[in-house]
Amino acid sequence: MTKAEKVAEIISILEFYYPETPIPLDHKDHYSLLVAVLLSAQCTDVRVNQVTPALFKLADTPAKMVQQKPEDIAAIIRPCGLSPRKSKAIHQLSQILLEEHEGEVPNDMEALERLPGVGHKTASVVISQGFGLPAFPVDTHIHRLAWRWGLTNGKNVVQTEKDLKRLFPKKLWNKLHLQIIFFGREYCPARGHKPLACPICSKFGRKAVFKS
């Protein structure tokens, strides 16, 4: 089987299991999505969705957020972990959005990555899920699955993102990102993984996957 045939089969499997890909983080606009994605670092989407209603009741715009004290923000988002750092980033990026972007979240990767607490992966999620522009956010989970499935030999998420963008059609990037996340949670988890029961690993998994 050629690499192109393998990629086509993986696309087909993901489409079969996850034809619909709802955005997992609750949000109402670009700003609430940006904040939610920032909070999701080292935290589950479920936990973020439990925390954000109280946060956005306190402040749901950059203008309202900068009026809050970082420690008050931290008190609300504490269940998400890293609350001192995240609260400071939320407060600072809200100020920058007001000063440099008229209170709006920019639809530009470089501008997003310059915001406090916003790395490449967070910016990619906002670009793809918020603005619908092509991006392929790769975190450690997608990196792990891509390696298991023999789609990359990359030792880091940067190389894996390049490999996935090269292998998959650009028009599918946004949906594939979510499909892989959903598939990984249900069929290809980090712990308790059963390769023979995984619809993709059972066909394309590396030998090392079956030995682990």
Residues noted as catalytic:
121, 139
Render the burial of 11-31: b for 16+ CB within 10 Å, e for the rest.
Answer: bebbeeebeebeebbebeebb
How far lies 150's CA from each of 55, 76, 147, in Å? 41, 41, 5
Closest CA to 177 of 211, 147, 143, 131: 143
Q: What CA–CA distance (Å, rounded) separates 44 from 48?
A: 6
Displacement of CA 142 from its chain's centroid (Å): 9
Task: Record the tokens describing residue 32, joined without a space.
Answer: 């609430």
